[in-house]
Structure 1
Amino acid sequence: MIGGALPLAGATRGIDGWRRQLAGLAVVSAGIILLFFRDVTSMVTIWWNASTFGHCLFIPLLIGWLVQQRWPTLRQLQPVAWSPGLAWLGLGALAWLVGSAAGVAMVRHGALVMMLQGAVLAMLGPVVARALLFPLFYAFFMVPFGEEIVPPLQLLTARIAMLLLDLAGVPAHMEGIFITTPTGYFEVAEACSGAKFLIAMTAYGVLVCNVCFKSWLRRAIFLCGALLLSVAANGVRAFATIWVAHLTTVDAAVGFDHVVYGWVFFAIVMAIVMVAAWPFFDRKPGDPWFDADTLGARKAKASDSCTVAALALAIIAAAPAWLAATAATADPLPPAPALPAINAWSRTEAPQAYPWKPRFDGADMLTRGRYRDGQGHVVDLAIAVFDRQEEGRELVGFGQGAADPDSQWVWSSPGRSPAQGRGEQITAPGPVVRHVVSFYVVGRNPPTGNPAQVKLATLKSRLLGQDQRAVAILVSAEEAEGRPADAAIDAFLKDLGDVQLLADRVAGIR
């Protein structure tokens, strides 16, 4: 009787240990979700509304499936509270503070995942976390990331299509992401860049690497092959659409593209990837995910669960509290300034070839004007001013800047600019081509056109409570025959003088 009771008592203690630690994990996780609920909802909204990240809706379900696959062996381990695990949670809180101060949503979302990972490590211990290493890592795919690759993928797709059009004998001309053939004028739009499928393929490929392979070499070869094939296939799809238009009509090509792109082409690509990799799968069904005996032999010094949970909640609360304190130090802006008077230039009401207005959501002031000089150059000047930046009120970010995504203007290629500015070419129906040079000034920092430098300057000002006023100055001109846009912009900037002085004046710094 005694010999039969001991295993039962041990099993009961093991179940009670899991229940106690899972309850503590639930409390800490709920605290993270409630405290950063705005970031949780913004992330889920992106999943639901942005087709590029629709696959993220399935990631929590896949994580649950991955844990369920490991549960029969996982329950043999003993979870413990582990105070050193708070270091990863604290690193996540610091990352959230940095991302929020810099206005980078991707960093905030990634930090949210890190904090949840840290809660698992702190409340369940290193042994259990090691057994759940891949599901915990895979949680990073809940973060909407990858939009930065859209412009280069658009250009790459256009170049692949041009190469294939040349091989097919179709006369074509490429300017940025626009391709002109005798049949029509084609744009490699954001939806045609292939970013959507490439991002989803990355998440799918990493899952396949864990579920179907043990060898790291095979994993690397599979993932690289899948991603390269995705990019090449998208270029072929763009070429095929233009080629069909060349052989038939543009309307027929559009219908072909929608059917192929949405239902057939990439399903075939995914099938090709899996069929090609199938003979090389080296993980058999039923193979253990980890060795419970080896992991169970590793002992971690247990900490008091209530103490660890309390410390975890204190750490995550410190980050938003610090940011709220520094936000209160923001300097007020002066009244809306008049547009500057510039020697040799006069204001003009001449109409634009296609209406253009930059987008800066949340700006405290947005002033625009049109100038003409004696040589016939016509330039548009736009100035946006913020007393401070925060979520939805940023100098640089998705949708902010020269090309409003809700308008007909689209980014087409990088453009020429001074050292302290950012040059880009945008295009509207017509086509109407416009060159834009953007300067960004944060606080008392020098002008820059580099978005990363803008984020770093914003981060510094918000973390340290420095001058948080921010200004965007955009100088733009339309491209026309005999009137190059770059020449007009160069002449205007020369007469405008120091951009820093203009930014300081409109922000009220001096």
Structure 2
Amino acid sequence: MTNTATMQEPTTASVISEWRAHLSALGLTAVAILALFHRDVIDMVSIWWNASTFGHCLFVPLLIGWLVQQRLPGLRQLQPVAWPPGLLWLGAGAFVWLLGAAAGVALFRHGALVLMVQGTTIALLGPAVARALLFPLFYAFFMVPFGEELVPPLQLLTARLSMLLLDLTGVPAHLEGIFITTPTGYFEVAEACSGAKFLIAMAAYGVLVCNVCFRSWRRRILFLIGALGLSILANGVRAYATILVAHMTTVDAAVGFDHVVYGWVFFAIIMIIVMAAAWPFFDRKPGDPWFDPRALQSMTVRGRPLSFVAGGALALIVAAPLWLAATAATAEPLPPTLTLPTISGWTRTDAPQAYPWRPRFDGADHFVTARYRNARGQVVDIAIATYARQAEGRELVGFAQGAADPDSEWVWSSPARAPTGALGEQITAPGPVVRHVVSAYAVGGGAPTGSKPAVKLATLKARLLGGDQRAVAILVSAEQTEAQDADAAVTAFLSNLGDMRLLADRAIGIR
């Protein structure tokens, strides 16, 4: 008996020593990732703290810690190994960061941080431990602020749901984009009312419940679909109820009602309803093991020296920012000044705008605006912004950039007509004052486009391969009034302007 215990003791001590060595290497490598990409980390945490849509992300690291803690008894029965194939996932993360940094897509950069930490965990702890931690590793993706692109379609969907319910209850209303007019007042389904934050938070909550409370994939899928669908429907009902209260009482009373039902209290009520409906169908019992350690022990592979794998991880982490720094030196200069075009049949005018409008292009090297009038009395505004090279905080397309500055009173209301190679938007200011804006973007002398993904792709190609990084945005806009059709005015101006590509090339100094 004594001899057996003596023989087992070094084995246990060896496993503990292995865990300490591998966890130390993991911790140091993770710290290196956070330090090297600290700007992206700070940016991501700032979004969590300042944007109510992503406030739930603050809880995700705590939930991941809880999920890992729940798995500790089984993890202690596994032995970590340094596994070089895990570096492929880490390398993929570094490459995604490179793509995100080159294209100016924060979503890619933030997601890449998660991928790199996941890859480091897989490489330095091995496949068995990674499999045991599969769900916590996956759940880390909910730390990434994503879903802002859902806001416009959700605004439109909420507005249409509200209109449907108003029609069913006999309340006279008119819908134009995201604006609803009733005899009581003029209502906007604003970004905060789109329900995006409820939908995103419900996705994070629903996925957690699927793992903790269900074992059947069929039940998980049905629960998640039901939870997401209910959150969209509930937000539409909330918007409808606010308008109905205004119709039956006053707008002030409706605002008070909205303040009561809106926010996390409303979300908590929806979560309670979802959980109450799903409770009878939970099929994971308290105390059920999260994984079978004995089955995972069969995944044990022959590892490589820990220092070798950790060194490879650090090399991959450093390679991406070094490549980007090397290609940044190839940027071409812009012309010293940016001049406004002379348009046949149009003259500059100082006539005041019905409501001040100025598109937003943070960090632009040159930015000019002007107002033109033709002999028919049509009035059009043009804005041109140019960049020698794009970088974080100075991007051609991105959050807050473009026709509707979120810090102004202008808000996006609906798509609008636009020619090929341009983006059409309708924006609205108090009054209401309605504008139609046609936006065209070009990078490195390429053909103008209205596709924001195409702009990001062109920017990515230029920055990744060291191509021409000069970029330009051209916005042509007109007010919609009783005396002027905005689309007709913009069309007439673009017809006299001629080749948009020629104007774009001249703005950045290619011709």
- TM bucket normalised to smaller: over 0.9
- 2:36 corresponds in structure 1 to 35
Q: Post-superposition shift, 1:264?
A: 4.3
Cα distance between partner residues in 2 of 1:31 and 1:262: 37
Cα distance between partner residues in 2 of 1:497 and 1:146: 38
Cα distance between partner residues in 1 of 2:430 and 2:483: 20
Q: Report SS of the residue matched to 1:83.
A: coil
How do 1:392-407 residues align onto structure 2 when only pairs under 5 Å count?
392-407=393-408
Q: Which amino acid aligns with 2:411?
A: V
Q: Is the 8 A contact 2:30 2:120 kept in 1?
A: yes
Is 1:57 the equivalent of 2:58? yes
Instruction: Deviation per CA, 1:454-480: give whole Å up to 9, x if none.
Output: 000000000010000000000000000
- 1:501 corresponds in structure 2 to 502
Cα distance between partner residues in 1 of 2:127 and 2:329: 40
Cα distance between partner residues in 2 of 1:43 and 1:185: 36
Q: Is the 8 A contact 2:48 2:54 kept in 1?
A: yes
Q: Which amino acid aligns with 1:194?
A: G
Q: Which amino acid aligns with 1:255?
A: G
Q: Which amino acid aligns with 2:233?
A: A
Cα distance between partner residues in 2 of 1:111 and 1:367: 36
How do 1:286-435 residues align onto structure 2 when only pairs under 5 Å count?
286-435=287-436
How do 1:57-206 residues align onto structure 2 when only pairs under 5 Å count?
57-206=58-207
Q: Which amino acid aligns with 1:356?
A: W
- 1:267 corresponds in structure 2 to 268
Q: Post-superposition shift, 1:367?
A: 0.4
- Deviating more after overlay: 262-271 vs 283-292: 262-271
Distance 1:264 1:114, change over 3 A: closer
Q: Post-superposition shift, 1:9?
A: 2.0
- 1:19 corresponds in structure 2 to 20
Cα distance between partner residues in 2 of 1:71 and 1:157: 44
Give TM-score, length-normalised by structure 2. 0.99
Cα distance between partner residues in 2 of 1:164 and 1:82: 57
Cα distance between partner residues in 2 of 1:170 and 1:27: 62
- 1:251 corresponds in structure 2 to 252
What is the number of equivalent residue pairs in this alignment?
510
Cα distance between partner residues in 2 of 1:233 and 1:435: 32
Instruction: Deviation per CA, 1:121-154: give whole Å up to 9, x if none.
Output: 1100111000000000000000000000000000
Q: Post-superposition shift, 1:268?
A: 1.9
Q: Which amino acid aligns with 1:312?
A: A
Q: Is the 8 A contact 2:127 2:299 kept in 1?
A: no
Cα distance between partner residues in 1 of 2:363 and 2:78: 51
- 1:463 corresponds in structure 2 to 464
Q: Which amino acid aligns with 1:115?
A: M
Q: Report SS of the residue matched to 1:338.
A: coil
Cα distance between partner residues in 2 of 1:428 and 1:224: 36
Q: Which amino acid aligns with 1:404?
A: D
Q: Report SS of the residue matched to 2:341.
A: coil
Cα distance between partner residues in 1 of 2:506 and 2:415: 29
Cα distance between partner residues in 1 of 2:498 and 2:200: 44
**Identity among equivalent pairs (%):** 71
Q: Which amino acid aligns with 1:398?
A: F
Q: Post-superposition shift, 1:162?
A: 0.3
Cα distance between partner residues in 1 of 2:264 and 2:113: 34
Please list every run of 5 or more consecutive structure 1 residues that lacks an aligned counterpart in the other structure: none
Please list every run of 5 or more consecutive structure 2 residues that lacks an aligned counterpart in the other structure: none
Instruction: Deviation per CA, 1:415-472: give whole Å up to 9, x if none.
Output: 0000100000000000000000000000021100000000000000000100000000
